[in-house]
Structure formats: C-alpha cells, structure tokens
Structure 1
Amino acid sequence: MNKEILLVEDDPMIARTLTMSLPYRGYAVSSVRTLKEGLQASADRRFDIVLIDLQLPDGSGYDLCQSLKERSPDLPVLIITARTDEKSAVHSLTLGADDHIRKPFGLDELTARMGRLLRDEPSSSAPLCFRELTIDMARRRVQIKGTEISLGRREFEILALLVRRQGEVVTRAEILDLFPDSLDTFDRTVDSHLSHLRKKMRAVVGERLRIHPVYGVGYRLEGEEGIS
C-alpha cells in the first residue's frame, strides 16, 4: 500500500513535479497551497508524512509544523526550505520537525529522507525501563512515574538510546548516527533535541531523572535511587 503524503507547497512547479513523480516511488500525494488548507487536510484524514514549505501565502511553515506536532507528535514532518543558514535549520527542529531539505533538491534525496523517517519499527518490541521510566517501543509511548510524556520522533529515539545504554556515556556522534539521512545535520541540533527532552522530563520528576552531560564526550542517563 502506498504511503500517504500531505504536501503543503505553494510553488506550482514544485507541487506539480512531486505530485506527478512520487507515485512512481510508492507514495500517494495530496497537495495543498496554504497553512489553513494544511491544517484542514491533516484534520480530515491520516497521513504517513507531511512535507511543508517554510514560505506559505498565509503564514509560516514553522507555525504549521508546530501545530501538527502538538496534535500528533509521532507524525513525521519534513521541512522544505530555500534558506541555507544554520539558524533556520535548528529552529525547524526545535519546533518538532524531523528533518529538513534545501531547495533545489533531487527526487532521490527527498525519497531517501522520507524513507528514513518512514522506516519500519524495530523488530524488538520489548519495553525499555530505567527507574520509573518506561518506554513502550511497539506503541512509541513514554511514561515516567505513570505519567505519559509526549515526545517527537527524534526525542523518542534519543531517549531510547540512552535507556538502552543506561549507566554508559553515549557520544554526540552516536546520537547523530541515529539520523544518517540528515546529511547536513548540525551539531547544535543535538543540543536542541536534548534541551526539549530534558524540559519534558523535568516537568514530571524534576532533576531526579536527568540526562547528564559528560564534558567533551557525550551524555549519560542518571536517576536517583529514590525513584527506583
């Protein structure tokens, strides 16, 4: 069955090219032009992935990305941008985008990035646990002390890696290796994802369960015995 794509792009040439080409790569494309239409389309039906251009006639792709992620944290979102600065890329990721691609781009690069975001779930669905943190890998849900926290796709994968390696230091390079399709991933995006992850964990258990930076090396998941 073809994967369902919502394309939010106001450039008629790009929209037409992707709408005509992607079905040959196994994707069914629904194309809209505006932020408002994107919100409505995503509310009316379920999509497997959303592609969003940053510059929309009635608003910013940033706002649409944030709204979609608040509604469906696990929905993969790929930002399309003509901007080349690092700040724009980092800002997209802080709002929950799973990846971004710069114009002009080729169909092979786009489908490679989408394929990575839509990859199959890990074969092992056994839950991961650390103290009172539980990760349901099959359902992609995280609970701390019985309270579910909503994580973006990359935040989820970073936390799962830290739990698998509990007690050990995970290097920044290992975290970046989680996303090999992001050819131009900036080192600062690791800081951005970790900052959001820490904030969400802190809201539930304060500093009793924390991601501890190991200077010059990486990060280690730590927890006080009091919450075990």
Structure 2
Amino acid sequence: MAQIFLLEDDPILGKAIQLQLELENYGVLWAQSIQEARRVYSQSSGVDLFLLDVNLPDGDGFGFCKWLRQESVQTPIIFLTARTDEDSVVQGFTEGANDYIRKPFGHKELLARVKNQLSENKPSLELIRFAGLTLVKNQQILKTGTSFINLNRREFEILSVFFAQPETIISREQLISAFSAGEEIFDRTVDSHISHIRTRLQKHGVSNIKITSVYGQGYRLEKTS
C-alpha cells in the first residue's frame, strides 16, 4: 500500500483529501504545520508521495520541499495551493516539485495526478540488509526498524560498500572507486563522510553496528549486538 504524506492546514480540506485517498486504499500521514510535518516524517517508516500546501501557519510548503530535496529525498512531490500565479508555479518546480495542482481542484483530477506520480516515479526498491538494518537504494535511506535516516549520495555509496562486505576491511581506495564519477575525491574526503555517518547513526540511536578504523588499512563495518 502506497503511503502518502499530506501537509495541509485546512482541517476540512485535509480531512476530505485524507478520506478520498483512503477510499482508494492509500495510507495517509497528515500534518497541519511544518513543525508537525518534520516530526511526523521523521517518525514514519517511508513515504511514496508528498502532497504539500504552500501557505502554512509556520512557513510555506516551498521551504519544506526545499528541505526535503536538500536531505536527498527523491520521493515525488505535488503542490496543492491557491497560489496560481506563474511565479509561484515556477518557484514550486524550482524547489523540486514534480507537479503543481491549483485550488480548487476536483477529486478525479487529484487522484489522476497522484496515480501518475506513483506509477512514473516509484521504481522497484533495491534493498541491502545487515544487522537488522536496511539500505533502500532508490530512496537513499537507511531503515532502522522503527524509523529511517536520510543519507546524501556519498554517505549512501559508502554504506552500500560496507553493507555488501560487512566485517571486512575496506580501504579508502576501494571506497573512492565506488563513488559516482564527476569529482575528485581524496582520502580526507572519505574520512569526513565516514565521520558524518557515525554522527548520524549516533544521533538516531543506532547501536547495533559501528564503523571502526583499522590503522594503515581502512575501515570495517561491524555488528555490535
């Protein structure tokens, strides 16, 4: 069942959209402010599509969309808004939206746009598992069982190498060769990314794995429990 995240502060419209989507057998997570949206999203087990209002009590949907893209979230995003001027539409797409629906809209139009984004943007998931954790390649996230961690491209590439060869010493050269082409990578860059990964794991309470340094050789991903 696809999970849809709805950010809409109007309680009447939000409830109507929620019921409409649930009648089509979609799961719905509904938040009414950006603060609530960040909390709900961080506690979710995954989202397949975002529906974002623009005018919100503590900011705007454009900012939330930009934050998602900066966190390397590739999930499709549709704006639902009464801001129909051309500049607003352009801003929505500039911040990373996949579609833009002007209010008021019909139920059939909304469902058609939702189905279109889900069918076009949801590839089959590629999963790599180790020690009760799961890397989801298409979404660049690490699932921990009860929550998930958004990773940037380099962090995901590093963890993919470790998950494919757990309990094995991986040299910096091996990690560099696994990176996508397009920029020059140095040993200290690898060290910096690994430091960031360790910080993310600690911040999210992940204690069943650790990345240890092996002097003169590289790094190793280990199971701790």
Give the TM-score normalised by structure 2: 0.53
| Paired residue secondary structure (1:118) | helix
Q: For residue 15 of structure 1, what is the aligned residue in structure 2?
A: 14
Unpaired segments of 5 or more residues in structure 2? 127-136, 141-152, 155-181, 185-225
Q: Tell me the amino acid that sits aligned with residue 73 of structure 1.
A: V
Runs of 4+ in 1 over 4 A off after TM superposition: 120-123, 138-141
Q: For residue 65 of structure 1, what is the aligned residue in structure 2?
A: 65
Q: Per-residue CA shift, 1:19-71, capped at 9, x if unaligned?
A: 11211112111211000111111111111111110000011111111111222
RMSD: 2.9
CA distance in 2, matches of 1:106, 1:88: 21
Question: Offset at 1:12?
Answer: 1.0
Q: Does 1:108 align with 2:113?
A: no
CA distance in 2, matches of 1:22, 1:139: 24
Q: For residue 50 of structure 2, what is the aligned residue in structure 1?
A: 50
**Contact in 2 for aligned 1:39/1:68 (Cα 8 Å):** no
Q: Per-residue CA shift, 1:179-215, capped at 9, x if unaligned?
A: xxxxxxxxxxxxxxxxxxxxxxxx849xxxxxxxxxx
Q: Percent of counterpart pairs with the same letter?
A: 36
**Contact in 1 for aligned 2:51/2:79 (Cα 8 Å):** yes
Unpaired segments of 5 or more residues in structure 1? 126-137, 142-147, 150-202, 206-228
CA distance in 1, matches of 2:25, 2:104: 22
Question: Offset at 1:93?
Answer: 0.7
Cα–Cα, structure 1 residues 139 and 27, in superposed 2: closer, same or farther, change >3 Å?
A: closer
CA distance in 2, matches of 1:35, 1:113: 23
Cα–Cα, structure 1 residues 119 and 35, in superposed 2: closer, same or farther, change >3 Å?
A: same
| Paired residue secondary structure (1:100) | strand
Cα–Cα, structure 1 residues 204 and 86, in superposed 2: closer, same or farther, change >3 Å?
A: farther
Question: Offset at 1:139?
Answer: 4.3
Paired residues for 1:79-228 under 5 Å: 79-119=79-119, 139=138, 204=183
State which structure, 1 or 2, has the greater radius of gyration over its C-alpha atoms.
2
**Contact in 2 for aligned 1:23/1:29 (Cα 8 Å):** yes
Give the TM-score normalised by structure 1: 0.53
Q: Tell me the amino acid that sits aligned with residue 92 of structure 1.
A: G
Q: For residue 177 of structure 1, what is the aligned residue in structure 2?
A: none
CA distance in 2, matches of 1:37, 1:59: 12
